[in-house]
Amino acid sequence: MPGLRYLSDVVSLKAMPELCVGCGLCAQVCPQGVLELREKRVAVADRDACMECGACMTNCPSGALWVQAGVGCAQAVINSVLGRQGSACCCVAEPRSPQQGLQASLDMAPPPRKSSGCC
Amino acid sequence: MTLSPQPLPLLTRMPPQGPAPCCPAAEPLGDPMAQPFVMGALDTPAGPAPRVSGQLSPADRRGTLRVRWDIGRHDYKVVPGLYALNNPTPDSPVLVSANYKLSFDHLREAARELDAWLLVLDTKGVNVWCAAGKGTMGTAELAGRVRSSGLERVVSHRRLILPQLAAPGVAAHLVKKQCGFGVVYGPVMARDLPAFLAKGHKADPAMRRVRFPLRARAVLVPVELMQALKTYLWLLPSLLLLAGLGGLVGGLGFWAGLGGAGLRAVGAMLLALVAGAVASPLLLPWLPGRAFSLKGLWPGLAGAALLWAPWPGAAWPPSAELMAWCLAVPALSSFLAMNFTGASTYTSLSGVKKEMRRAVPLQIAAAAIGLGLWLYALVAA
C-alpha cells in the first residue's frame, strides 16, 4: 500500500534461481509481491517489501528460497530478551531457520517457543 | 448424503440460562455439537458433521466485539474438526480455517452463500496468519486433521482450499505426500473466496496482496489500548502516590501534591497512550519515517505541545515538571507505536530488531531523564 513501506536493506531473503523448478508457488503465496518468475525462474522483484514470513521458503519444493523467518513484533523481541514465556500468542521472536520452519510444520506439537501476548 | 432429522430445539438452541453446571472438562477439545452456533448435524460416511450457517447470531457478534476489546481473546475457540456450511455435497469445496472463533466466524460469514465443508485445525485458538507463523497452522496438523476427520470418505475430490496466509506454516507439496490431498491457496481475505471459487480457483493479483487500510488499523486500536492499559496501568497509581509523597517532602502536603502534579502526571500519561496506541496506528501512512518508533514520535510531540497550553502558570521558561513530560510523552508514544509492529501486516523481524537497537536506548534515556526531572520538580516545588 502506498505510504506503508518498512525499513530498507534489512531483510534476509535469498533466492537461488539455479535451484528453482519454476512452479511459481512462492510468488503466489507471498503477500507482499516480493517474488516473480522471470524466464521460469524465481526472481526478487521487491526485496524491501519482504516481511520475512517464510511462506515462500516453506512452500518451495526445491529449496530455492531462504529467509530468516520470524514475526516482526517488537513486543515479542522484548519478551524474548526478558525471558518471558507466553503461550497464546503468534509472536515468535526467535527467527525460524529453514529447518526449524519445516520442522515446526512437520511436528504435530511444535516445541514451545518464546512468544508473547502481543496478538 | 442426507440431512439428519433436525429436532427443533437444536435449531433454536439458546445459550444456557444462568451459570452452567460446573464440572471438570471431560474432553479437552469439547463436544462440537454442543457449541451454540451449531445447528444440528449433517450425516456423512465419516459420521455426523456439525452443521453451521453463515448467519452470525447476536451472540456471535457479541463475541466478536468482546475479543476486539481484548476480553478473553486467548480463549475464544471452536472445537477442531470437519463442519458442514449450509448443505454441502461430496463435490463441495473444503475450506480450511483456524480454530480462533473470530477466524471461523469470518470465514462462514464470507462464504454464507456457499455450500462447503469447513475443516477447522487446532491452532490453539490463534488466528490463521499468526498460527502459521508459529507452525500450529502447519503441515502436520493439516494432514493429521484430514485423516482424523475421515475427509477422504466425505468428499469425492482431493483438494483443500487454504487461506493464503496459512502458507508460512503449510508446505503444500508435503501435505499432498502426507494425506493425499492437494493444497490450493485461496485469497488473503475470506471475503474474496466466492469470487475465487467462481473463477475456478483463480485469484486476481490484488487478492493475493495483504493491505493495511485505515479500517483494518482501526479495529486493532481497542486491543492496543487494552494491552497498554493491562501492562502499564500500575504506573498511574504509582505516579499519584509519588506525587503525594513529593508534596509531603516539598511542603505542599500529600493531597495537594497528589491533586496537582499527580493528576497532571495521569493526564500526561493518558495523552501519551492516545498518541502512541490510537493516533499512531490510525495515522500510520501519513506519519513521517518508516520505523514505527519514529512514526510514534510525531503524535507524541504533538501531545507534548498540547500540554503547554493548559499548563498552570507561565509555560515559558518551562518548569522542570513540564520539561519532564515533554521528554516522557514522546518517548512513551514512540514506544507504544513501536509495539504496533506486531499487529501490522508488513514489518519484518530483521527490521524490527534494527529499529529497536536504535530506538529503545533513546526511549529509555528520554523516559529516565523525564522521570528524574519530574522527581526533582516534586521535591523542589
Pairwise CB contact (< 8 Å): B168 & A104: no
Q: What's the pLDDT band for A2 if we cut at 50, 70, 90?
A: low
Residues of B in contact with A110 (CB under 8 A): 134-136, 138
Q: Does A114 fall in a domain?
A: yes
Q: Which of B105, B148, B104, B100 is nearest to B124 (CA)?
A: B100
Residue ranges of domains in chain B:
8-208, 214-380
Q: Does A96 fall in a domain?
A: yes
Task: Work out how many domains chain A is built from and give that number.
Answer: 2
Mean pLDDT over each residue of chain B, to the nearest integer: 91
What pLDDT digit, counting tens, does each position of A31-45 carry?
Answer: 999 999 999 999 999
Instruction: Residue A47: give its domain's CATH number.
Output: 3.30.70.20
Q: Which of B348, B177, B218, B62 is nearest to A6 (CA)?
A: B348
- Provide the ipTM: 0.85
Residues of A in contact with B130 (CB under 8 A): 71, 89-91, 119
Neighbours of B217 (CB within 10 A): 21
Whether A22 and chain B come into contact, CB under 8 Å, resolves to no
Q: Does A35 fall in a domain?
A: yes
What pLDDT digit, counting tens, does each position of B98-116 carry?
Answer: 999 999 999 999 999 999 9
Q: Are residues A116 and A101 in the same domain?
A: yes
Whether A35 and chain B come into contact, CB under 8 Å, resolves to no
Q: Does A1 fall in a domain?
A: no
Whether A12 and chain B come into contact, CB under 8 Å, resolves to yes
Closest CB to B126 among A32, A90, A106:
A90
Nearest residue on chain A to B335, alpha-carbon basis: A74
- Distance of alpha carbon B363 from alpha carbon B356, whole angstroms: 10
Buried b (16+ CB within 10 A) or exposed e, B298-329: bbbbbbbebbeeebeeeeeeebebbbbbbbbb
Q: What's the pLDDT band for B241 if we cut at 50, 70, 90?
A: very high
Interface of A with B in 77-96 (CB under 8 A): 77, 87-93, 95-96
A26, A50, A67 — which closes off a domain? A67
Whether B222 and chain A come into contact, CB under 8 Å, resolves to no
Neighbours of B195 (CB within 10 A): 13
Q: Does A58 fall in a domain?
A: yes
Q: Does A93 fall in a domain?
A: yes
Q: Does A4 fall in a domain?
A: no
Whether B135 and chain A come into contact, CB under 8 Å, resolves to yes
Chain B: closest CA distance from residue A43 (Å): 17
What pLDDT digit, counting tens, does each position of B333-380 carry?
Answer: 999 999 999 999 999 999 999 999 999 999 999 999 999 999 999 988
A46, A67, A88 — which closes off a domain? A67
Q: What's the pLDDT band for B28 if we cut at 50, 70, 90?
A: low
Q: Are residues A15 and A52 in the same domain?
A: yes
Q: Provide the residue type at B246 as one letter.
A: G
Residues of B in contact with A107 (CB under 8 A): 135, 138, 140
Which parts of chain B are beta strand (E)? 41-44, 47-52, 81-85, 94-97, 116-120, 159-162, 182-185
- Distance of alpha carbon B342 from alpha carbon A51, whole angstroms: 12
Q: Note down the domain range covering A48.
A: 10-67
- Distance of alpha carbon B121 from alpha carbon B145, whole angstroms: 7
Indicate whether B177 pLDDT > 90: yes
Q: Are residues A23 and A59 in the same domain?
A: yes
Q: Does A40 fall in a domain?
A: yes
Q: Are residues A63 and A74 in the same domain?
A: no
What CATH number should be reported for the domain whose range is B8-208?
A: 3.40.50.11600
Chain A: closest CA distance from residue B314 (Å): 39
- The position carrying cell 514470513 is A53
What pLDDT digit, counting tens, does each position of B281-305 carry?
Answer: 999 999 999 999 999 999 999 999 9
pLDDT the model gives residue B381: 64
What pLDDT digit, counting tens, does each position of B187-230 carry?
Answer: 999 999 999 999 999 999 999 999 999 999 999 999 999 999 99
A67, A82, A111 — which closes off a domain? A67
Q: Taking residues B123-136, what's their average pLDDT? A: 95
Q: Taking residues B7-19, what's their average pLDDT? A: 33
What 3-state class would DSSP assign to B267?
helix
pLDDT the model gives residue B317: 81
Chain B: closest CA distance from residue A101 (Å): 7
pLDDT the model gives residue A51: 97
Q: Which residues contact B128 (CB under 8 A, 6 or more apart)?
A: B97, B98, B100, B103, B137, B163, B165, B166
What pLDDT digit, counting tens, does each position of B52-99 carry?
Answer: 999 999 999 999 999 999 999 999 999 999 999 999 999 999 999 999
Q: Are residues A90 and A104 in the same domain?
A: yes
